[in-house]
Amino acid sequence: MAYRLNKRRIVLVIIFFITLLIATVILLPSRISSADYEVKVAKDDLAEEESPQKGTTAANEELPPNPFLLSDEQVAQVRRVQAERIALLTRECSKEPKPSNAIYNRIVAQTARRFEVVDKYRVSNCMVLKAGFTAWNALLAYVLGRQDLIDGHQTYMMSKILKATTEKFASVNSSPDYMKFVVAREPFSRLLSAYRDRIDAAYETGAANRFVPLILTLTRGVGYKQTYDNGTRILPSFEEFVKYITSVAPESHDPHWRPVTMQCGACYVNYTVIAHAETLNEDLGYILRETGIEKDADYTILIYNSHKGRGNTDDLLERYYRTISPQLMQKVLAIYRKDFKMFGYDPSGFLKKMYPDGSVVWNP
């Protein structure tokens, strides 16, 4: 009798666990699908993408306010600012010498390789790294229905999918129906951010693998071709990085720190919007509204894929640039001179703080 009862208990226990297992298998996928997805932009050296960021919003978490939703008054203000920025770029470009046909064609071909074109929304943009490009590509993957890239953490592939041919770029550039925009960033901040994120990074990057041996060889001698010493990574200081980039032609710079005016054909594209990284929320909000992307977009993608780096770059500028001699800083200013002038950045205040003796001054 006892044996029969024990056997009965065993059967009941087995049935209970089988039922529990089935319930788990059925309910688990629904729980996963009910949570908001995670967008993570993977590092891709061929696409020259920024370092990966990710962000999630739990299903029961309150969404943050939409910083890209503009009032009519804000839209009017952005339009006024854009008119000023376009006018400034036009004035500065009028001072540039007219290039020969061969040079012009070469510049246009190079610029075309940096352009994305989204026909659905009649918008195109120059791919500027270290200026919000990661978040923009994640958003494009979402609004264009590339869930496969989102799920595979490959939204960086949008830069290849949407890259313009020279012919397509020429057509879009001459069309009044396309919005054409570029995102500029204060050059000192962008240069430092590129160094910290691509060279002095906690993980290996394509840029570091390519440039660290070159930087160390230039600044420390041929004995530093190897970037590891007994298993410890050897990384150049910010000063060494700056010495290297000022020793080579800007045309050979990695896109993470190549001047924006140089890679985006500042005087050869009929830009309708010049965004600034420092006012990116307002500028992107304007772009989303004017192109119609706003109605299809999930603004949290822009928030959670915004590159935040390791600390606030503005707080670090003084600390890092203290290591740069006046002679070296003059070379930096020469490289990024057009970025400062054409996009309306004035380095005078920063230079006065760094060099109170007047050894480096800004002469626009």
Boundaries of every domain in the chain: 2-34, 54-354
What is the C-alpha radius of gyration for the chain, rounded to an integer number of angstroms? 26
Window from 178-182, 207-211, 243-247, 350-354 with minimum mean pLDDT:
207-211
CA triple 116-207-226, angle to 5 deg:
165
Q: Percent of the chain beyond pLDDT 90?
A: 57
| pLDDT, mean of residues 84-96 | 97
How far is 23 from 354, CA to CA, in rounded Å? 65
Considering only 45-59, 126-140, 255-269, 325-339, which range has the smallest mean pLDDT?
45-59
List, for residues 41-59, the tens digit of each pLDDT value. 333 343 444 444 344 343 4
Record the pTM. 0.79
Query: What pLDDT score does 355 carry?
Result: 96
Is residue 152 within 8 A of residue 41, CB to CB? The reply is: no
Q: State residue 123 phi and psi, 5-degree precision.
A: -140, 145
Phi-psi region of 311 (alpha: psi -120 to 50; beta: other; left: phi over 0): left
Q: Measured between alpha carbons, how far is 278 from 264 in angstroms, rounded to an integer? A: 19
Q: Which residues of 312-332 are buried (b: 16+ CB within 10 A; e: fewer)?
A: ebeebbeebbeebeeebbebb
- 148-163 pLDDT, tens digit per residue, is 988 888 888 898 999 9
Kindly state the tokens that stand for 191. 């240069």
Query: Which are the contacts of 303, defined by CB distance < 8 A and separation ≥ 6?
Result: 55, 64, 67, 135
Please give the pLDDT value at position 19.
57
**pLDDT value, residue 151:** 85
pLDDT-derived band at 221 (thresholds 50, 70, 90) equals: confident
Separation between Cα atoms, residue 346 and residue 168, nearest integer Å: 35
Least confident span in 43-52, 230-239, 333-342:
43-52
> What is the three-state SS of 119-153?
HHHCEEEECCCCCCHHHHHHHHHHHCCCHHHHHCC
Decide if 126 contacts 264 (C-beta within 8 A).
yes
Bridge partners (DSSP) of residue 259 are none
- The number of residues in the chain equals 364
Which range is least confidently modeled, 4-18, 98-112, 237-251, 336-350?
4-18
Task: Report yes or no: 285 and 67 within 8 Å, Cβ to Cβ.
Answer: yes
- DSSP string over 137-203: HHHHHHHTT-HHHHHTT-GGGHHHHSBPPHHHHHHHHT-TTSEEEEEE--HHHHHHHHIIIIIS-SS
Tens digit of each residue's pLDDT (9 = 90 or more) over 106-121: 999 999 999 999 999 9
pLDDT band of 207, cuts 50, 70, 90: confident
The top-scoring range by mean pLDDT among 140-149, 219-228, 230-239 is: 140-149
Per 3-state DSSP, what percentage of the chain is helix, strand, and coil (rounded to 5)?
A: 55, 5, 35
Distance (Å, whole) CA 201 – CA 203 = 5
* Whole-number average pLDDT of the chain: 82
Band (pLDDT 50/70/90 cuts) for residue 314 is low
pLDDT at residue 197 tops 80: yes
CB 36 within 8 A of CB 298: no
Q: Are 215 and 240 a contacting pair, CB within 8 Å?
A: yes
- Side-chain-facing half-sphere of 291: CA atoms under 13 Å: 27
- Calculate what percentage of the chain has a pLDDT beyond 70: 77
Confidence (pLDDT) at 155:
85
